[in-house]
Amino acid sequence: LKQAQEDPAADQWVVLHFPAITDGKALWPERYPLDALENIRSSIGGRVFESLYQGNPTIAEGQIIKREWWKYYREPPRFNRLLHSWDTAFKDKSQNDYSVCTVWGEADN
């Protein structure tokens, strides 16, 4: 869509985007109250909910970090460096985003 929108020779149209939840409020609360939408998100998962209910699809393997790069260890290797990365949700809303911490390690192998 973005490529077609930027090409003046392509057919042009208006994209209407209506996320089910915006600023902590349900788009159509009489049909889908906020608590029902949160239950749906919990049952189908964040990625699917973002695609179907928020109009924000992403590819399953991620856009930056590929699934095949992930490794699981019973005993982690000895890391030369560790990096902690935090994304916290400090907003005055009844429904905040999740807070997340990731830990990255650099090893010799």
> What are the residue ranges spanned by the domains of the chain?
2-106
What pLDDT, in 10s, does the model give residues 26-73? 999 999 999 999 999 999 988 899 999 999 887 776 667 777 777 788
> In the prediction, which pLDDT does 36 show?
97
> Two tokens at 72?
């699981």
Q: In the structure, what pLDDT confidence band is assigned to residue 107 with cuts at 50, 70 and 90?
A: confident
Contact criterion met (CB below 8 Å) for 41 and 53: yes
Type of residue at 65: I
HSE-CB of 64 using CA atoms within 13 angstroms: 0
Q: In the structure, what pLDDT confidence band is assigned to residue 93 with cuts at 50, 70 and 90?
A: low
For 60-97, letters b (16+ CB in 10 Å) and e give eeeeeeeeeeeeeeeeeeeeeeeeeeeeeeeeeeebee
Choose the most confident range, by mean pLDDT, from 2-16, 59-73, 87-101: 2-16
Angle at 60 between CA 31 and CA 85, to 5 degrees: 95
Q: Write down the pTM of the prediction.
A: 0.52
